[in-house]
């Protein structure tokens, strides 16, 4: 069985590329989540997102998927991290995770998703993919991450996370110099 630590982000190739877009209401300390209705992970809670289409950039896909799934127009997206998923059935996904504080419109329910605003202190991890509790807190704390996960269906079999420290945290080294210094 493949282990998550054996997934090399520089050489590993996924069957499909996908995005997630977390819309944050900083003023009210909330994040927009969805009850996913269709596709992989139907019945679980997630964020708006989906597959990257041919010729589309990850940011363009995140903007499109958020509009299609919940009716919001987002901009000012920040790249928070990358996810690499290997499924034992052979399927694999590379995920680009974005977040933004800038949107227009009101969330609407669609055939793909039922959106809701969630207090950041009350995120229902028990109703989400098992890996979310490992990387989502880093996204919400603005700590860049790379997560590698092996799944058998919806069961996480192996995981490995790399997280950059916040600037000045313990190392005292600015984030821009962190990779070359450690």
Question: What per-residue confidence (pLDDT) applies to 166?
Answer: 52
Q: Give the pLDDT score at 40.
A: 87
pLDDT, one tens digit per residue, over 125-134 is 999 999 999 9
Secondary structure, 3-state, 12-75: CCCCEEEEEEEEEEHHHCEEEEEEECCCCCCCCEECCEEECCCCCCHHHHHHHHHHHHHCCEEE
| Mode of pairing for the β-strands spanning 16-25 and 30-36 | antiparallel
Residue 147 has pLDDT above 80, yes or no: yes
**Do 32 and 5 contact (CB within 8 A), yes or no?**
no
pLDDT value of position 170: 42
**In angstroms, rounded to a whole number, what is the distance separating the alpha carbons of residues 58 and 16?**
12
* Residues 177, 159: Cα–Cα separation, whole Å: 26
CA–CA gap between residue 82 and residue 156 (Å, rounded): 17
pLDDT of residue 141: 93
| Rounded-to-integer distance, Cα 24 and Cα 92, Å | 28
Give the whole-angstrom CA distance, residue 130 versus residue 76: 28
pLDDT, tens digit, for every residue of 3-62?
Answer: 999 999 889 999 999 999 999 999 999 999 999 999 989 999 999 999 999 999 999 999
DSSP secondary structure letter of residue 101: S
Asked whether the predicted pLDDT for residue 177 surpasses 60, the reply is no
**Residue 112 reports pLDDT greater than 80:** yes
Which residue ranges form the domains of the chain, and what is each CATH number?
A: 14-181 (3.90.79.10)
pLDDT tens digits, one per residue of 153-176: 999 999 999 998 655 444 343 444
What is the model's pLDDT at position 1? Answer: 78
pTM of the model: 0.88
| Interval 57-85 mean pLDDT | 97
What does the pLDDT read at residue 165? 64
């Amino acid at each position: 069985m493949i282990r998550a630590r054996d997934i090399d982000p520089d050489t590993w190739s996924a069957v499909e590329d996908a995005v997630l877009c977390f819309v944050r209401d900083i003023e009210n300390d909330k994040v927009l989540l969805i009850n996913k209705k269709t596709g992989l992970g139907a019945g679980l809670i997630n964020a708006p997102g989906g597959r990257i289409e041919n010729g589309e950039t990850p940011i363009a896909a995140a903007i499109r998927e958020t509009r299609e799934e919940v009716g919001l127009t987002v901009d000012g997206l920040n790249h928070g991290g990358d996810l690499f998923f290997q499924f034992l059935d052979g399927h694999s996904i590379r995920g680009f995770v974005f977040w933004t504080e800038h949107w227009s419109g009101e969330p609407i329910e669609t055939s793909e998703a039922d959106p809701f605003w969630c207090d950041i202190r009350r995120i229902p991890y028990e109703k989400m993919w098992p890996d979310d509790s490992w990387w989502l807190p880093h996204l919400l704390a603005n700590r860049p991450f790379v997560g590698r996960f092996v799944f058998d269906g919806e069961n996480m079999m192996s995981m490995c996370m790399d997280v950059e420290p916040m600037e000045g945290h313990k190392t005292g080294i600015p984030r821009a110099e962190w990779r070359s210094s450690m």
